[in-house]
């Protein structure tokens, strides 16, 4: 693939633009054999820093730290659980009620669903890179073992084509803790790397579900934090 750069070599009378040099050298594109973009805006690409950064907006909307247990979550009314404004900007938020038993006794469970769709081209990646080189796309997330139920978390990620419907790659994780006892509510880590996927990927759809429970004392939540979608060039 290194040969693809040859036709862009400029004569001594036409020195390379400094932004192009900075971008190419910083990411070592030639050494890695990365095909160049067509008609690039090198300054914009350099500013976007498309590799190794988190492409999700507000990945830690509640300001929680995985280095220590999640602080107590005061019971709240359902409509107060998540505010789609402010720190949750960028997330599409919804609730999926779960079936209630015949006796309709508490607790009642529901999924809190947060999702984002990332436009990879808008984030500074380019078609030749995604179709020919296919950089790694890494997904990471942390969720609280709230012990509200045997399964308190799900993660569903899809690599989508231009039409935002065609699924080119996908990853699913359903937590099965099986332990509702005790007071230890540690953070659990989930990760996956998409490698050597088929050409055509243009979007990443990230969706996770965390379980909530309505009890006599109010609503209690399972929380997630430090969600991440990033792109890496291979060495």
**CATH at residue 81:** 2.60.120.260
Higher-confidence position of 229 and 62: 229
Q: Are 46 and 217 in contact (CB under 8 A)?
A: no
What is the Cα–Cα distance from 57 to 38, expressed in whole angstroms?
27
Would you place residue 174 in the very low, low, confident or very high pLDDT band (cuts 50, 70, 90)? very high
Question: In terms of domains, do 61 and 172 share one?
Answer: yes
Average pLDDT rounded to a whole number, residues 188-211: 97
Q: What is the pLDDT of residue 103?
A: 60
Q: What is the pLDDT of residue 7?
A: 47
- Whole-prediction pTM: 0.86
Quote the Cα angle for 153-157-158, to 5°.
155
- E-strand spans in the chain? 92-97, 108-119, 136-144, 153-160, 167-174, 187-194, 203-215, 218-220, 224-232
Question: In terms of domains, do 66 and 42 share one?
Answer: no
Question: In terms of domains, do 196 and 86 share one?
Answer: yes
Question: In terms of domains, do 39 and 56 share one?
Answer: no
Question: In terms of domains, do 30 and 104 share one?
Answer: no
Tokens of 94: 């919804």
Domain boundary among 48, 65, 85: 48
Question: In terms of domains, do 111 and 152 share one?
Answer: yes
Q: Are 157 and 171 in contact (CB under 8 A)?
A: yes
Is the pLDDT reported for residue 9 higher than 70? no
Q: What is the pLDDT of residue 124?
A: 97
42-85 confidence digits (pLDDT tens): 999 999 999 999 999 999 988 888 988 888 776 554 444 555 55
Among residues 66, 73, 89, the alpha carbon closest in space to that of 187 is found at 66
Q: Find where tokens 């390379």 sit.
A: 16
Rounded to 10 degrees, the C-alpha dihedral 116/122/125/128 comes to 110
What domain range includes position 31? Answer: 1-48
Q: What is the pLDDT of residue 41?
A: 95
């Amino acid at each position: 693939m290194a040969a693809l750069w040859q036709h862009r070599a400029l004569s001594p009378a036409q020195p390379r633009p400094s932004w192009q040099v900075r971008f190419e050298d910083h990411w070592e594109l030639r050494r890695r054999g990365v095909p160049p973009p067509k008609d690039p805006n090198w300054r914009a690409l350099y500013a976007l820093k498309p590799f190794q950064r988190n492409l999700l907006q507000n990945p830690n909307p509640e300001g929680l730290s995985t280095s220590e247990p999640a602080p107590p979550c005061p019971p709240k009314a359902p409509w107060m659980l998540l505010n789609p404004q402010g720190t949750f900007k960028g997330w599409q938020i919804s609730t999926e009620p779960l079936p209630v038993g015949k006796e309709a006794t508490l607790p009642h469970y529901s999924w809190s669903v947060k999702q984002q769709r990332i436009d990879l081209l808008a984030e500074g990646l380019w078609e030749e890179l995604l179709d020919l080189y296919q950089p790694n796309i890494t997904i990471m997330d942390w969720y609280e073992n709230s012990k509200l139920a045997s399964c308190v978390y799900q993660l569903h990620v899809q690599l989508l084509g231009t039409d935002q419907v065609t699924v080119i790659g996908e990853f699913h994780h359903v937590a099965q803790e099986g332990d509702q006892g005790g007071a230890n509510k540690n953070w659990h880590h989930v990760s996956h790397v998409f490698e050597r996927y088929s050409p055509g990927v243009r979007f990443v759809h990230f969706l996770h579900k965390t379980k909530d429970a309505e009890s006599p004392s109010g609503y209690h939540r399972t929380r997630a934090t430090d969600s991440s979608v990033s792109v890496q060039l291979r060495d």
